[in-house]
Structure 1
Amino acid sequence: MLNRMVENDEQDERKRYQLWLQSHKLTPEIIETMKAAAASFPYRPLISVVLSVGSATIENWLAVTIDSVRAQLYDHWQLCIASDESAGQSIELMLARYMAEDPRIVARHSPGRTAGAPIDLRDFVKGEFITFLDQFGQLGAAAFYQVVKRLNRNPLDDLLYWDEDKLDSEGRRVEPFFKPDWSPDLLLSMNYLGECFVIRSTLVEKLGGLRRGFAPSQNYDLALRAVEQTDRIAHLPEVLYHRRNESVWLPHLADEVAERDLQSTRAIGEAVRRRGEDGAVDIISPGLYAVRYDIRDEPLVSILIPTRDNCQLLRQCLESVHRNTDYKNYEIIILDNDSAEPETLEYFKEIAAEIQIHRCPGPFNFSAINNLGAAKAGGKFLLFLNNDTRVIRRDWMRAMIEQAQRPEVGAVGAKLLFADGRIQHAGMVLGICGMIGHAFRFKSCNAQHYFGLADIIRDCSAVTAACMMMRHSVFDEVKGLDEKLPIEFNDVDLCLRLRQRRYLVVYTPLALLNHYESATRHRIHVPGDLEVFMKRWGSCLKSGDPYYNRNLTLAREDWTIAL
């Protein structure tokens, strides 16, 4: 049943993408306009395309790749082709014909096999910017036009990347990846920049170029090293690169995938160590990774749980924490908002010797209650936890500490599931239905959704305080939760204030819990909270979520294509 539902979703999305392609087609009029604009750009940098050719080269595919460069609407480019003796005579003759036809194409033949050696770019590549291409990829005609258009507005950009899709066995465009803007934690979890991006040549030279010992993940390794040297990283939300589906052309796909994962985890591990952290890199699934940072000094975690009656829910929550938590240095603080049921009061007596219980009388104010709890907490870390949650993964708390201890991280959120196993929370998205949505809400937890984004550590605009961790010092720095938002939006407001201070908000699926919020409950916003929140953050919602692509729908939480 699940497989049939996933298959239907995939078919629907294929149809939606074909409709999207029709509405975004480059018409002859648009092409002429772009060509005229490209010719008149005040800043016209030379872009060098580096293409390696070897024994695996398929002649007609190589021709299509080269032709995609020649078809660029921006004409100030150079195509640098490095071939070796394994390429074969027919390939060499083909390259000679291309060079004779177009002086912008330069081919260099090296004796011996060069596939495992670095390409010496110094006297070969003349461009101010470089992009790396292979015979299985094609550039969209507007690729360099969009790059240089951006550079004319932001000439200091060092690295630019674009959205991409795949080509099936019949050459049809499928599986678009509409990417987020710059997301450092996502790059540690997957090579979301892709194999083909544009980078300033002086930066490549500073980094020592591609390290071919990391093949077939050498471009990923280059990107990881590059983002440590610059924060001038730009995302172009246009589908400008097309790559042949690997299952079509790789005869030994499993071996290729295994080697890529091996070299990718090696590159990520080196990046983590360069950044002064210790830890390991796990493979979640092919192409998806998780950095498991070492926890420093086993710090105390204060778990703050607001509650009012509903003793069975609270009991289940506490028992799951005690039974399913492999991290032992924590304290639990119950924040009781006028419980009156005899069963609840009796339960408080049972646990009082081991758990702090603080009375928080008066009208329910989630922000005020948790601020009081934070004032009573002795932990270096605060963990806000709803009483209607149940821990699933034993390393959930470790997974949150790993991220929350990083100085650049302000808050960490968990993956929460409804009772039936569907996703309740996998990070929040600004602007959904004009407000805030939960990523992949109601989607099955057992299927991979939108390039696995629900299954990997990544940056978000906000996470829910139903299960959220942060350093106590950071909570104090931003003066806690806003008590003017007693019921709703207080967690989103907190996250947005953290981001104003340039902290990251991180989602980790390795912290996995049930959240027994009703899946059928309608969201009726509290008018006072809504008014306060919109006055403060309305313009932020309208400007769009940097971690969500403008080509994706704002009508639902499923990350489907907007039409």
Structure 2
Amino acid sequence: MKAPAFGAFSTFGTFSTKMRRAARALRRVISILVRQGPRILFVKLSNRWRRMNYRHVFAANLQQTESTPAAGETKQSRSATSASVNPASDAPASPPLLFSVIVPLYNTQPDHLAAMIASVQAQTYPHWQLCLADGSDQYQVQTEVARLAAQDSRISYQRLAGNQGISGNTNAALAMASGDYIALLDHDDLLAPHALAEVHRVIIGQGADLIYSDEMNFSGEIGQVSLIHFKPDFAPDNLLSNNYICHLTVFSRALSDTLGGFNPACDGSQDYDYILRLSEQARRIVHIPQILYYWRIHGGSVASDISVKPYCLDAARLALANHLERTGQSGTVENNTILSTYRIRYPLPQDMRALVFVLVHHHRDLQDLKRLLRHPAGLPVRWIFLVSTDLRTDPAARAQLAQRWEQDIAAAGLIGTVALISPGESAPALINQLARSADEPVLAFLSGTIQSMSPGWLTELAQHALRRDIGLATGTIIHRGLICQAGLATGIAGSLAGYHAGRVDGEPGYMARLSFVNNISAADQTLMAVSRAHFLAVAGLDERYQTDLFDLDLAFRLSQQGLRHVFTPYATAAIRDAHQLTVERLDRKTANPSDLKHFHLIWQDKIALPDPYYNPNFNQNHARFDQR
């Protein structure tokens, strides 16, 4: 009997693999339906479809990226920019800058090497130098490069005496560079044809000395896109959580000269270490929201699986620890639950205490507040319960109501003071008075609708609130299994919106951003903490507000002082009523009318601005990190 052809086995194997995958997917769907219900199942399937469609759309349009204008540009202005640097067009009006593209080589596959060099030669900006430092022990690399270099004088090649490690080889390439700016390129990756032209544009237009772009991962052919990373503008706390800058990175020679070379002790994460050092010294860091770098995935690459090179994690933690030491910060660096992301635990004073304001609108909120006892804050707390009432001037009635609330609070096992806020009174004025007389170094704010919280939530918020350059710290706000917000973004449909709103609680989020500390534009009184020193430095809350929007006002005034706001995934709160969120009251116009008027008078332009931490390539009608 004749044996079946190999192709028959291959077809059967492919079919059986697909059937196994389909069966696993069906079991997963049934499990979610049984454990979490149809609502969560629908949301998860919707999110999954958006991610799949996202990859398909950008893979299909990959070849059109060069004609896509940057944020804020028209196609016409983009075309004019490209023309100014195209060698076939008129001479550029701006002075030509020389880019040195440095590439350490080590046993590079010939086809990958040729493709990498071709991507540099295809640049629409002609003033570049390709610096290849070869530590290979295979002579086929030298032969291939020699052939290509003979055809293009802009290619410089140096055969090293031996492999000096990734940092040593990179330093050798850096020593060859004579350009005004240095671009980093891995030996098997590719540059988009307009990469250097776009970098040149922001250098001339914005005076940047450190520039980075968005990137994509691919395997095999260039159209086989597995991931696209749309990045935020410079976000220092994102960078302390993972090397989100990564590729493409370009920096000035003047900046590089102040740093010295790459650190061999950080081999495996040497780029991360170098980017951290660059960020410490850079005068102007600019993000280009375009895909200018193509990162090749193969079996041995970190992009494919960090576990291929586990020493990279150790090197990254060392790079972060060194950064903290150089910048005068204390903290312990740990691996995070998501590989290649990191968690820094910042120390708190031993006698650390906090003053927590709980804003209570309804008596039924007490039932939810009792649950706080089951979720310890992690720090000694003095509670202030700010209770909205309908009573105006009757002192006896006010005293009676306050006494009843304090009795209920004591019965719940909480130690705190009740302060009543009648219509027409200013909650910010009362909070300011209490904050000025307090001696706790951290002030925290909670909504009375919180039903449960993660253990140690206050420890997580306080360690960030006490950092010298942080304004507000917040966590994840959840309602019925879905995320309401993980911080607030500006410029979403012309207003504010919660990052990741609508995603299922427990998901890592786009590029794992629900899994590590990152920068945000604002936070609200549902869950936030601020250092008392920073609070008083901006004169506390604006007392012209009565009951609403003073939290957003505080966030924006702290930002004006150069302070950043952060989201931490290690503090979570589940709420009963999502309509009480500040952003909901703002959008639905259910906030106090006078507060709405005052807020819009001051901040209408601010809330409409594009969010620096939400890439313009995402859908701007919400902040879920979905495709446009």
> Normalising by the residue count of structure 1, what TM-score does the alignment of the two structures yield?
0.91
AA aligned opposite 1:240: L
Q: How far is 1:356 from its partner?
A: 1.8
CA–CA distance in 2 between the matches of 1:211 and 1:349? 58
Q: How far is 1:185 from its partner?
A: 0.7
- Contact preservation (8 Å) 1:46, 1:77: yes
Q: Deviations over 1:156-202 (max 9, x none)?
A: x2211111112144422453222111111111011111143001123
- Percentage of identical aligned residues: 25
Unaligned runs of 5+ in 2: 1-28, 30-40, 69-74, 391-400
Q: What corresponds to 2:54 in structure 1? A: 13
Q: How far is 1:516 from its partner?
A: 2.2
Unaligned runs of 5+ in 1: none
2:158 matches 1:108: yes
- Contact preservation (8 Å) 1:48, 1:79: yes
2:316 matches 1:264: yes
Q: How far is 1:519 from its partner?
A: 7.0
Which residues in structure 2 correspond to 1:416-431 (within 5 Å)? 416-418=477-479, 420-431=480-491
Q: What corresponds to 1:501 in structure 2? A: 561
Q: What corresponds to 1:361 in structure 2? A: 422
Which residues in structure 2 correspond to 1:54-93 (within 5 Å)? 54-55=106-107, 57-86=108-137, 88-93=138-143
Change (3 A) 1:36 1:434: closer
Which residues in structure 2 correspond to 1:155-554 (within 5 Å)? 155=207, 157-172=208-223, 173-246=225-298, 253-284=305-336, 285-311=338-364, 313-320=365-372, 322-325=373-376, 327-338=378-389, 344=405, 346-348=407-409, 350=411, 354-363=415-424, 366-375=427-436, 377-418=438-479, 420-518=480-578, 523-525=587-589, 526=591, 527-554=593-620
Change (3 A) 1:352 1:290: closer
CA–CA distance in 1 between the matches of 2:509 and 2:303? 27
Q: CA RMSD for the aligned pairs?
A: 2.9
3-state SS of paired residue (2:103): strand
Q: How far is 1:486 from its partner?
A: 3.3
CA–CA distance in 2 between the matches of 1:534 and 1:209? 50
CA–CA distance in 2 between the matches of 1:435 and 1:32? 32
Q: How far is 1:248 from its partner?
A: 8.1
- Which has the greater radius of gyration? 2
Change (3 A) 1:348 1:399: closer
Change (3 A) 1:328 1:149: closer
Q: How far is 1:508 from its partner?
A: 1.2
CA–CA distance in 2 between the matches of 1:250 and 1:474? 41
Change (3 A) 1:318 1:476: farther
CA–CA distance in 2 between the matches of 1:271 and 1:361? 50
AA aligned opposite 2:154: R
Change (3 A) 1:362 1:117: closer
CA–CA distance in 1 between the matches of 2:136 and 2:511? 37
Q: What corresponds to 2:149 in structure 1? A: 99
CA–CA distance in 2 between the matches of 1:123 and 1:24? 33
- Of stretches 4-13 and 202-211 in structure 1, the one that deviates more from structure 2 is 4-13
> Normalising by the residue count of structure 2, what TM-score does the alignment of the two structures yield?
0.82
- Count, aligned residues: 556
Q: Deviations over 1:67-116 (max 9, x none)?
A: 11111111111000011242x22221110011100000011001222225
- Contact preservation (8 Å) 1:195, 1:219: no
- Of stretches 12-21 and 262-271 in structure 1, the one that deviates more from structure 2 is 12-21
Superposed structure 1 runs of 4+ greater than 6 Å apart: 27-33, 519-522
Change (3 A) 1:542 1:324: closer
- Contact preservation (8 Å) 2:402, 2:418: no
Q: Deviations over 1:432-490 (max 9, x none)?
A: 12110000112012222210112211111101211111111221222222243434432
